[in-house]
């Protein structure tokens, strides 16, 4: 009996030791952080995208669900609010500032709290802790979101000063658009200064992919980079996932780890335009980044991924609609209208149709608005729109073809989509955490609480923010 008891004690000790080792491993600070900010991606756009991938109607998702869905299933999720000090709805500047600093701010401010004081951001702190740092944006690197992680100005429009402060911070990697702000006017010598600081400076995809080590500054457009839906016309320009993969390759060389912020910025532009095809293209590119990040994390234990939006844009979703104007058959006591006749509840084939789009409809509209009215004939619009959408369009199906914005609204109706706004909403957002300490991101919180949680994950202080 004593032998049996003694054996059980030893066995329990071994099991306890194994469990202790696993606990230590799971609670050890993360070495690397990949923070993916999907600008404008409210919960409805996440659902719009993941449901399309699940349907099998999208060409890149015939055999699997979205990488976004995998990350959600493998990690932890929470809901968070993003209001500023005194405003319900935010902009990208205040949202980035509050996320990157953990301090309350106001719309338009970059790295400045609501009282007007500069506040330390995550990348500045990470650099003090000896980690390599990097920023990527497929919009431009001086735009509000990357600026909120790297600069301190009272007005987000001060992009020349933001560029100067970014070089002063000296991240190991800076990739995106915005060359204009590093080379024009009072910043005409900024690229020369960057070279003196040891940056390898690249302007195209080929040069980016050749970079092997050292600091890297890549500026691939004067202002914003091309929309994902139009990248086929820009073969020399790197995609967001190509920039992210190169950044991970370089930053992983630092033995002390890194903090990388990746912004999918043009998603917000597409949603502002209520352009469903362009929005889908941006979400597909974002999904490639998520896939690359999770693959990296699996190969490099101790890597933490946080995926979130700064705010919602558009509030776009599929809705059902009455197609034959036959009127309501019944209205319930709760106000729900039950239609008689032909009701359209949406069709998954719509995703395949949206994937054919080849142009940003916002850019197309800008081009049309510069043309004389007599040029905008139904035949001209039909030809141009068919080419942009990637499938034949019959203008007889549209009302008032002289109303260009109305044409695009009618397109959404044909798809079964409705957008509530062309601005931001106060919709609650979803944060997805993956990696050691991911359980800290369960529940409901505010975007000013993201940084304290990440500090705990990275081991930057002893306080707990559970």
DSSP 287-303: HHHHHHHHHHHHHSTTE
For residue 203, how many other CB atoms are within 10 A of its CB?
A: 16
Do the Cβ atoms of 462 and 452 come closer than 8 Å?
A: no
Residue 465: pLDDT band by 50, 70, 90 thresholds? very low
pLDDT at 302 over 90: yes
CA 202 to chain centre: 23
Distance between CA 249 and CA 34 in Å, rounded?
Answer: 13
Q: Mean pLDDT check: name the lowest of 24-33, 195-204, 395-404.
A: 24-33
Q: 204-225 burial string, b = 16+ CB within 10 Å, else e?
A: ebebbeebeeebbbbbbbeebb
Mean pLDDT, residues 161-172: 98
Instruction: Please report the pLDDT score of residue 463 as a whole number.
Output: 45
Hey, what domains does the chain have and what are their CATH numbers? Answer: 30-315+422-458 (3.40.720.10), 317-419 (no CATH)
Instruction: Please report the pLDDT score of residue 15 as a whole number.
Output: 41
C-alpha distances (whole Å) from 23 to each of 16, 18, 217, 296 are 10, 9, 40, 22
Residue 5: pLDDT band by 50, 70, 90 thresholds? very low
- HSE at residue 12, side-chain half, CA atoms within 13 A, is 6
List pLDDT tens digits, range 307-319.
999 999 999 999 9
Distance between CA 317 and CA 351 in Å, rounded?
Answer: 13
Residue 195: pLDDT band by 50, 70, 90 thresholds? very high
Instruction: Please report the pLDDT score of residue 337 as a whole number.
Output: 65
Residue 445: pLDDT band by 50, 70, 90 thresholds? very high
Mean pLDDT, residues 98-122: 98
Instruction: Please report the pLDDT score of residue 27 as a whole number.
Output: 67
Q: 330-343 burial string, b = 16+ CB within 10 Å, else e?
A: eeeeeeeeebeeee
Share of the chain above pLDDT 70, in %: 89
C-alpha distances (whole Å) from 385 to each of 23, 360, 368, 377 are 58, 11, 11, 12
Instruction: Please report the pLDDT score of residue 461 as a whole number.
Output: 75
Instruction: Please report the pLDDT score of residue 404 as a whole number.
Output: 87
C-alpha distances (whole Å) from 376 to each of 367, 411, 414 are 11, 18, 22
Do the Cβ atoms of 389 and 276 come closer than 8 Å?
A: no
Distance between CA 50 and CA 426 in Å, rounded?
Answer: 22
Q: Mean pLDDT check: name the lowest of 122-131, 137-146, 393-402, 406-415.
A: 393-402
Mean pLDDT, residues 436-463: 93
Do the Cβ atoms of 40 and 18 come closer than 8 Å?
A: no
Q: Mean pLDDT check: name the lowest of 4-8, 35-39, 228-232, 442-446.
A: 4-8
Q: Average pLDDT of the chain?
A: 91
List pLDDT tens digits, range 11-54.
444 444 444 333 334 568 999 999 999 999 999 999 999 999 99
Query: Which 8-state DSSP code applies to residue 60?
Result: T
CA 45, 48, 51, 55 torsion: positive or negative? negative
3-class SS of residue 263: strand
pLDDT at 330 over 80: no
| Tokens (6 digits) for 286 | 């974002």
For residue 231, how many other CB atoms are within 10 A of its CB?
A: 17
């Amino acid at each position: 009996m004593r032998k049996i008891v003694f054996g059980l004690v030893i066995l329990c000790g071994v099991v306890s030791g194994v469990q202790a080792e696993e606990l230590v491993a799971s609670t050890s600070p993360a070495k690397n952080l990949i923070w993916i900010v999907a600008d404008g991606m409210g919960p409805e756009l996440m659902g719009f995208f993941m449901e399309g991938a699940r349907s099998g109607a999208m060409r890149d998702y015939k055999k699997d669900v979205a990488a976004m869905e995998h990350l959600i299933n493998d990690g932890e999720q929470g809901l968070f609010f993003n209001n500023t000090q005194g405003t319900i709805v935010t902009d990208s500047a205040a949202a980035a500032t509050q996320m990157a600093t953990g301090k309350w701010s106001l719309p338009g401010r970059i790295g400045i709290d609501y009282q007007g004081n500069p506040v330390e951001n995550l990348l500045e702190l990470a650099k003090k802790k000896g980690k390599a740092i990097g920023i990527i944006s497929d919009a431009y690197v001086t735009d509000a979101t990357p600026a909120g992680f790297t600069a301190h100005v009272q007005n987000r429009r001060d992009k020349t000063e933001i560029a100067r402060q970014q070089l002063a911070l000296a991240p190991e990697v800076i990739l995106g658009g915005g060359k204009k702000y590093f080379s024009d006017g009072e910043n005409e010598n900024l690229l020369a200064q960057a070279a003196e600081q040891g940056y390898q400076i690249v302007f195209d995809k080929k040069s980016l992919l050749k970079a092997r080590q050292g600091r890297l500054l890549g500026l691939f457009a004067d202002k914003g980079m091309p929309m994902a839906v139009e990248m086929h016309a820009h073969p020399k320009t790197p995609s967001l996932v190509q920039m992210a993969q190169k950044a991970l390759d370089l930053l992983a060389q630092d033995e002390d780890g890194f903090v990388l912020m990746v912004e999918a910025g043009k998603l917000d532009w597409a949603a502002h335009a209520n352009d469903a095809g362009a929005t889908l293209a941006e979400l597909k590119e974002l999904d490639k980044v998520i896939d690359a990040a999770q693959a990296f994390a699996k190969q490099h234990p101790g890597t933490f991924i946080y995926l979130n939006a700064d705010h919602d844009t558009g509030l776009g979703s599929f809705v059902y609609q009455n197609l034959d104007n036959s009127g309501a058959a019944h209205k319930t006591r709760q106000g729900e209208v039950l239609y008689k006749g032909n009701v359209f509840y949406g069709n998954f084939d719509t995703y395949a149709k949206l994937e054919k789009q080849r142009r940003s409809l916002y850019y197309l509209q800008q081009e049309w608005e510069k043309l004389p009215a007599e040029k905008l004939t139904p035949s001209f619009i039909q030809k141009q729109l068919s080419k942009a959408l990637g499938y034949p369009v019959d203008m007889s199906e549209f009302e008032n073809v002289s109303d260009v914005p109305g044409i695009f609204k009618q397109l959404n109706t044909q798809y079964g989509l409705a957008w509530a706004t062309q601005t931001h909403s106060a919709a609650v957002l979803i944060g997805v955490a993956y990696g050691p300490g991911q359980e800290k991101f369960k529940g409901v919180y505010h975007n000013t609480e993201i940084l304290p949680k990440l500090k705990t994950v990275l081991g930057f202080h002893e306080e707990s923010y559970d």
